[in-house]
Amino acid sequence: MAGSNKTNITPPRWLLAELTYKCPLQCPYCSNPLDYVKHSNEISTDDWKRVLSEARKMGAVQLGFSGGEPLTRQDLPELVQHARQLGYYSNLITSGYGLTEEKIIQLKEAGLDHIQVSIQASTQDLNDHIAGTESFHSKQEVARLVKKHGYPMVLCVVIHRENIHQMADILAMTEELGADYVELANTQYYGWAHANRDLLMPTQEQYLEAEEIAQAFKEKVAGKMKIYYVVPDFHEDRPKACMNGWGTTFLTIAPDGVALPCHSARELPGLDCPNVNDASIAEIWHESKAFNFFRGNEWMQEPCKSCDEKDKDFGGCRCQAYLLTGDMYKTDPVCSKSPDRHIITEAIESARQSALASDEKPLIFRNSKNSKAY
């Protein structure tokens, strides 16, 4: 392993609590692992409370309750209340499916700070197709209820080839629903999205057109709504500064208690990601092999090693380097300095060819049946 200078370890600030992999939706770009059914056991309420307490003590303050669909955990209000007592700023990251007004009030009273609702498209047909579940109207209703009960309302729309042409309508919808924040998340190709990449990746022209619409909207609503635009990294020439640096800021706990430096890290070989049942959060953060693996920059190869931007982007994403080249130590192929950049170019071209083909294969939806195939 790469090793690190342990005196430089900063405390976690963001905790992503993936409470469950259960989800009523089947989005084909889900970031959960393809083989999530193998990790379907869930840690207990008391385990989660201990995790929240220990991470908070170290300095974690932003907390996301995520999944799967976190609402499927019956102890969610109890965990929200515990988080509030500890001083977290907590966020429910939900499909909105099954979120009743009663539950919204209950969670508010428990101390939840904000709710992020995902919407898949601006039309019912497409939303319900992508979600794999009839959910468009209930999502819109939930968005209105979130607003009604005084939460900052965040709408998240994952952008891909099937909905990118709706960008203007999607933005109009978020404005009409009264969103305070809109996250326009261009699909990141991990997990299910990686498996469906040829069918999900828009063309360069589509990206540019959509980005222009999003930027114009951002200026129009400045001071009223905040727009977070997650860039499509395949179309950039520098990689993203993934996780703000490995083991510096972000801590993910998966449903089965596995602690991950990022939510995809389970896919990387040889990390031996620790479990909260075997060690404290402080031990995991400071001592574990997984969290020290890519800390600092001693692990880097060329061209990262001698690059003057290595402290800015940390060599990009380790999971992406692994998924695309089979070598997790390599420069993220998104970087134009990477000798593997052709893989990105080929992926973009392959998706374009797939879009033009008359016999395009169907999307693989994220569900238990499909997960068992991995």
Partner 1 sequence: MSLNPEQKIQFSPMHRLQWEEAQQKDVILYPEGMVELNQSSAEILKLCDGTRNLDQLVADLEEKFATTGLKNDISGFLEVALGNGWIQQN
Q: Residues interacting with partner 1, by CB under 8 A?
A: 11, 13, 57-59, 61-62, 87, 89, 91, 113-114, 116, 150, 152, 154, 180-181, 183, 223, 226, 228
Residue 365 has what DSSP assignment?
Answer: -
Token pair 């951002």 is found at 218
Q: Which is nearer to partner 1, 113 or 313 (CB)?
A: 113
Beta-carbon count within 10 A of 316 CB: 22
Q: Which is nearer to partner 1, 113 or 233 (CB)?
A: 113
Give the nearest distance from C-beta 93 to partner 1 in angstroms: 11
Pairing of strands 250-253, 153-159: unpaired
Q: Which is nearer to partner 1, 49 or 114 (CB)?
A: 114
Give the nearest distance from C-beta 148 to partner 1 in angstroms: 14
Q: Which is nearer to partner 1, 113 or 198 (CB)?
A: 113
**What string of DSSP letters covers 244-296?**
GSTTTSEEEE-TTSBEESSTTGGGSTT----BTTTS-HHHHHHH-HHHHTTSS
Q: Which is nearer to partner 1, 11 or 98 (CB)?
A: 11
Give the nearest distance from C-beta 79 to partner 1 in angstroms: 18
Structure tokens at 19: 């409470």
Q: Which is nearer to partner 1, 62 or 203 (CB)?
A: 62
Give the nearest distance from C-beta 328 to partner 1 in angstroms: 27
Give the nearest distance from C-beta 225 to partner 1 in angstroms: 10
Judge whether 31 and 264 are in contact, CB under 8 Å: yes
Give the nearest distance from C-beta 260 to partner 1 in angstroms: 20
Q: How far apart are CA 342 and CA 353, in angstroms?
A: 16
Q: Which is nearer to partner 1, 62 or 123 (CB)?
A: 62
The burial class, CB within 10 Å (0-12 / 13-18 / 19+), for 176 is: exposed
CB contact set of 357 (below 8 Å; sequence gap of 6+): none
Give the nearest distance from C-beta 125 to partner 1 in angstroms: 29
**What sections of 59-166 are H helices per DSSP?**
76-86, 101-110, 124-131, 136-148
Cα–Cα nearest to 182, from 170, 192, 190: 170
